[in-house]
Structure 1
């Protein structure tokens, strides 16, 4: 399928990152040209725990998988995004994003992206982490800034620690929330 719309899937180190082909294929079926950006920890997971996974994802998207800033003298290797999907979004990245920390490529893109493109965020963390008072403030702040945060009904519902269900992660809800 040929498309003129580019989606950046930005993935953090949470268990659903082991199934990134699911949202990539779903987004491609919906007409998106998908580029994948990983947090440094997610990149480590996929290079050290899943041999050949980065290469398979590059083949699936047709683009290099990025995980760190390029040098100023280096050209951009990805087309500019028309939208971003941050999934899985960890509590760590949520907190940094809501406070404008840009210490990784993934954070730099989503922090800047608030002013540039539609962003959908699909969290993944447990209910103990979700109970921290700052989490709801960060989610509310990002929602007020225009980010579609799929936490709660119709999105991700936090689970008990060490009881997550990868098959229940609502990838399709995130794809459906992207602009048409």
Structure 2
């Protein structure tokens, strides 16, 4: 690539979503341009003003109308972080009922390198659909982070969530 590579950070509604700025900062330090796409519920977990000031782009959460300009450059890579149980299962099933899921489903057909950093609790991760969905995504070439599910009702393992792992998984994809 000759121009600055562009990363979409897809943010889902999880307790740690407000820390997405950590991934944005790390990506920008590595030379990425960054745009954020939030699930409709994930949008409420973000400091919209701060994220838009940091990236220089509006956060996308809804479909644009025909004829509207594209507010973000095309993605060279996508990082879904944090990724919820709901988003992972819908994505693997090919359900594109939100902008974020539409982008993720389309990314497969466009061969865009995609990373997912799941953030789920152990009770949700025990559901058979979750394991099947991760296997489906792996089979599609999606790179999956190493976060181990946290205890239910315990507030999550934010201290163990490695935002930078998204960038580590993408290393070497653009050489």
2:32 and 2:128 map into 1 onto residues whose CA distance is 36
State the match for 1:80 in structure 2. Answer: 74
State the match for 1:108 in structure 2. Answer: 102
Q: Deviations over 1:68-127 (max 9, x none)?
A: 110112110100000000010100001110111111010000010112200000000001
State the match for 1:50 in structure 2. Answer: none
Q: Deviations over 1:104-153 (max 9, x none)?
A: 01000001011220000000000110001111111001100110112xxx
1:14-53 superposed matches below 5 A: 14-46=14-46, 53=47
1:14 and 1:45 map into 2 onto residues whose CA distance is 8
Mapped pair 1:173 → 2:173 = no
Q: Please report the TM-score for the alignment, with normalisation by the length of structure 1.
A: 0.90
**Given the alignment, which residue of 117, 141, 145 partners 1:146?**
141
Gaps of 5+ in 2: none
Q: Please report the TM-score for the alignment, with normalisation by the length of structure 2.
A: 0.93
Gaps of 5+ in 1: 47-52
**Given the alignment, which residue of 93, 96, 118 partners 1:123?**
118
State the match for 1:49 in structure 2. Answer: none
**Given the alignment, which residue of 20, 23, 48 partners 1:54?**
48
**Given the alignment, which residue of 44, 63, 84 partners 1:90?**
84
Question: Cα distance, 1:64 vs. partner?
Answer: 0.8
Mapped pair 1:158 → 2:174 = no
Q: Deviations over 1:17-73 (max 9, x none)?
A: 111110000011111100001000011233xxxxxx101100100111111110112
RMSD of the alignment, in Å? 1.3
* Residue correspondences, number: 169
